[in-house]
Structure 1
Amino acid sequence: MRTEDIVNAEIELLTAIKNADVAALEKILHDDLLFNLPDGQTITKEFDLNSYRSGKMKIDALEASDQIINIIGDSAVVSVMISLKGTYDNNAVNGTFRYIRVWKQFGESPKVIAGSCIQLH
């Protein structure tokens, strides 16, 4: 696993999120993914995909910065700041969030196996 592979995988992931591309997210997210939301709720891949499928989650703008990537064997830990503007279930979701994501190599492509985010402001 190389840093540039994860940089590219992160770009693919963020593009899929922006475009609500469920087919791409299906490939990028591991089936056993666990993700912690800022409110403390832990969600699964299926919950996440359903929020895009149903149209509940809408992203108007998303910008990544301050990315740190640590490669550890066949895994990578990514810390990244995301400025987000959008809605979830018609409620505004605006702010800056710090995400941590864990990617693991499966065959040809890495998949997100875990993550968490906190709201900064």
Structure 2
Amino acid sequence: MDINGLSDSSLHEAETRFQQALLANDIAALDRMLHADVRFTGPDGSTIDKAADMASHRSQAFTLTAVDELHREVQIIDGVGITRATLHLVGAAGEHELDMVLAYTRTWLPSEDGWRIIAAHGGIGAAIDTA
């Protein structure tokens, strides 16, 4: 499906670039891919905005040493992109070591610069056997 020149394959590419930016802690790439009004809901139900998320990356309060994708789905509905990815994340959040599987749903809006994340939710996930 092609909406405003943005296709399922371009949404797959955007999700891949976002995961790579998370792993590399690429502040500039994350800033470009996140809408100014984005909101993130974490596994504990708390919600943060872009400023708080970017601050955690800039200060390296949240760092990743591995991002392994276990499963991915993409959809485009009425021009809005949705990705669902189950990721095995290894790294640190503040003083706490991180080694867990999280299931993410991200909502993407097309823009002049490609797809931008406008909302995201991460919840505790289980490893998915896709074999």
> TM-score, structure 2 length as denominator?
0.88
Gaps of 5+ in 2: 1-5, 127-131
Q: Which residue of 2 aligns with 1:16?
A: 21
Q: Which residue of 2 aligns with 1:102?
A: 107
1:33 equivalent in alignment to 2:48? no
Shift, 1:84, TM fit: 0.4
Q: Which aligned runs of 4 or more in structure 1 are off by greater than 6 angstroms?
A: none
Shift, 1:15, TM fit: 0.7
RMSD of aligned alpha carbons: 1.0
* 1:99 aligned counterpart, secondary structure: strand
CA distance in 1, matches of 2:123, 2:99: 13
CA distance in 2, matches of 1:97, 1:107: 30
CA distance in 2, matches of 1:92, 1:118: 17
Shift, 1:32, TM fit: 0.2
Name which one, 1 or 2, has greater alpha-carbon Rg: 2
Shift, 1:73, TM fit: 2.4
Q: Across the two proteins, how many residue pairs are aligned to each other?
A: 121
1:85 equivalent in alignment to 2:90? yes
Identity over the aligned pairs, expressed in percent?
26
